[in-house]
Structure 1
Amino acid sequence: MHFAMPPRKTSRPPPYAARNQSSVRIPPALKNLLRRDKLRLVVVGALGFFTLLWLFGWIGGGSSSNSVLPGGVASTISLIGTGPAVVIVTVIDPQANPAWTERIKKNREEYAKKHGYLTFFANASDYPLRNSPPSWAKVPAVRHAMTRNPGSTFFWYLDSTALIMNPSIDIHAHVLAPSRLEKLMIINQPVVPPDSVIKTFSNLKPDRIDVIVTQDKDGLSQSSWIVRNGDWARYFLDAWFDPIYRSYNFQKAEQHALEHIVQWHGTILAKLAMVSQDTINGYHASDLANANHGTYKDGDLVANFYGCDREKRSCADEQQPFFAILEEAKNKD
């Protein structure tokens, strides 16, 4: 009688054969090493995650520590709309007549107080302009004002050459309310007159607008403009203030730099609205103003004595009759 023989074992187990891991003993030193590797992986992953947050502006991109998300993440976007709606920004020449400077500040402060707004004054020497003309200071000044006032929605830059002449006009109702801005927007208009091939878009909605400008007879004016607080505003101001543009020999410095980025960057033109010059930037001198709607007239919000701070002119002297008009109107009230 023959008995069946058991299958013969081989010294070569089949590939991919499962091994009994319970019989494998890992030395304690190796276990500690593996544990440390896992911990290191977790730490590195966490650091990488928070680094990505920082790069996207969720950490460190905020301009105020007053608003903090869980975990200490600063946020300014969440603050927008919690403060006064408008901040009026003006750059002052530190070499200017102090008495005149105080009158310019008072002009803005009285208007802001009347409508519940804020003011922000900066000196042209506050910012590292290097060899650039001091007129460039308006760009970092607005950026600075946004940092100091993260809860405000709009920042209205107004040159020291201009006076607010009709304090009863509320800039928000006058320009910024979407229903009003929709009526004011000048569409399909050459950015640089008279015949620039780049024109303002004709299909923009007012709630998508983040910067409002005017146009004088030569091009975009940087004397009076408004920007909406937010990430796009910071991008716009940083792009405008790029060292490449400041070092380039533009004939009109920041004005020509503004026209350049508006015409060559669709992301900026797509957020820009142009309004009639006399809406927020009427020129006292008609020969410098937009021929159709640029000269200041009684009742307008702003009278701008454009260029009075140079060309051997005196802003204090030219503005004096208008300061007198404002004082007389205030005494009647």
Structure 2
Amino acid sequence: MVSNRNSTLILIPLALFFVYGCFQYFQSNAYSDKVVIILGTNAQGGVDRWKTSHEWEAERLSISNKQKYADKYGYKLSLVDMSTRKRYSHEWREGWQKVDVVRQVMRENPQAEWFWWLDLNTFIMDMDVDISKLFKNPQKYAHRSVEYLNPLNIKVDSPFADTINSPIEFLIAQDCGGFSLGSFAIKKTAYSDLLLDSWWDPVFYEQNHMAWEHREQDCLEVLYSNQPWIRERMGFVEMRMLGGYSRTACTETPNDKTMFWETGDWIANIACDFIDWGCWERYAELKQVYDKLNRPWWYL
């Protein structure tokens, strides 16, 4: 009698654990073919110099990190060699490649809904956080106006934008320099097709590229300011939700609570140059935190 009771007490937790695992598996995989992660790499090395050993190692770790995350949830990881992105023979649109890459990956994956761009210097810390939660209910996490932070004091030419009745189809964060494009997500819709075409418009580029220090970032800020239809479907989330910076970045706002990575956050953005030894040290520290967070349950 006692033996049967003990067996029951052992089997019940195991059964609950199994049911919960199955629920999590089917819940995550139900969204698996709808998300593509885009990671820009630099496989050929530097342009002006050879890549350092730290840069090679950081790139290897970053790709492996994203692949593990994609494998866990069944998402597709699209690796793009940014060193070969040359749109026109007479010019090199350096800093503008992301827009063209996203358009191409969308064409290659017609079944997908959300496309999540990540810079190489991002690192997913907590593998148990599923990005699809943000995509399923972006209104829960996003602000509908740039004004919640607005470090550049961006003005809009017309206050009208129907953000109440319009869904969010473009998720982006802001840092001390304005719109941050190190980690952003965009949904494949008629809206995003038109947005990306406008963003990449070669005529627009030719007229303004010499005045835009931050290239595609400045272009997007101008479009946001002047085009109400673009504002209607944009959502702004905190930097920490899409990749908080280390404290050495954005020194203009050292006390900001939304911009910098904190222990327990699920994703970080190193946002520094790996020829700097301090940058590699910060990366190594994050890797140690990641290893502790993602140890197998049987690890002692």
TM-score, reference length from structure 2: 0.73
8 Å contact 1:86–1:153 — kept in the other structure?
yes
Shift of 1:203: 5.6
1:234 corresponding residue in structure 2: 193
Runs of 4+ in 1 over 6 A off after TM superposition: 199-202
Shift of 1:205: 4.6
1:51 corresponding residue in structure 2: none
Instruction: Pick one of 118, 123, 140 that aligns with 2:81.
Output: 123
CA gap 1:331/1:166 in 2 versus in 1, 3 angstroms = closer
1:320 corresponding residue in structure 2: 284
Shift of 1:208: 1.5
Indicate yes or no: 2:167 matched with 1:208. Answer: yes
Aligned-residue RMSD, C-alpha: 2.8
1:49 corresponding residue in structure 2: none
Instruction: Pick one of 95, 100, 108 that aligns with 1:148.
Output: 108
SS at structure 1 position matched to 2:183: strand
Summarize the alignment of residues 81-96 of structure 1 with structure 2, pairs less than 5 Å apart. 84-94=33-43, 95=45, 96=51
CA gap 1:145/1:317 in 2 versus in 1, 3 angstroms = farther
8 Å contact 1:278–1:296 — kept in the other structure?
yes
8 Å contact 2:179–2:217 — kept in the other structure?
yes
1:217 corresponding residue in structure 2: 176
Shift of 1:330: 3.1
TM-score, reference length from structure 1: 0.66
Structure (1 or 2) with the larger CA radius of gyration: 1
CA gap 1:262/1:83 in 2 versus in 1, 3 angstroms = same
Indicate yes or no: 2:260 matched with 1:295. Answer: yes
State the Cα deviation string for residues 103-125 of structure 1 (Å, max 9, x = none).
Answer: 21111111111112111110113
8 Å contact 2:160–2:228 — kept in the other structure?
no
SS at structure 1 position matched to 2:295: helix
State the Cα deviation string for residues 134-177 of structure 1 (Å, max 9, x = none).
Answer: 3322222211211221111100001111111111111111x112
Shift of 1:200: 9.0
2:128 corresponding residue in structure 1: 168
Shift of 1:83: 6.4
Q: Name whichever of 132-141 and 154-163 sits farther off.
A: 132-141
**Structure with the greater relative contact order (CA < 8 A, sep ≥ 6): 1 or 2?**
2
Q: Name whichever of 227-236 and 268-277 sits farther off.
A: 227-236
Distance in 2, Cα, partners of 1:142 & 1:286: 29
Distance in 2, Cα, partners of 1:202 & 1:279: 25
8 Å contact 2:125–2:293 — kept in the other structure?
no
- Which ranges of structure 1 fall in alignment gaps of 5 or more residues? 1-80
State the Cα deviation string for residues 293-317 of structure 1 (Å, max 9, x = none).
Answer: 11111221211112336xx536655
Shift of 1:220: 0.7
Shift of 1:257: 1.2
Summarize the alignment of residues 264-303 of structure 1 with structure 2, pairs less than 5 Å apart. 264-285=226-247, 287-288=249-250, 291-303=256-268
Distance in 2, Cα, partners of 1:241 & 1:140: 7
CA gap 1:93/1:218 in 2 versus in 1, 3 angstroms = same
Instruction: Pick one of 242, 246, 256 that aligns with 2:218.
Output: 256
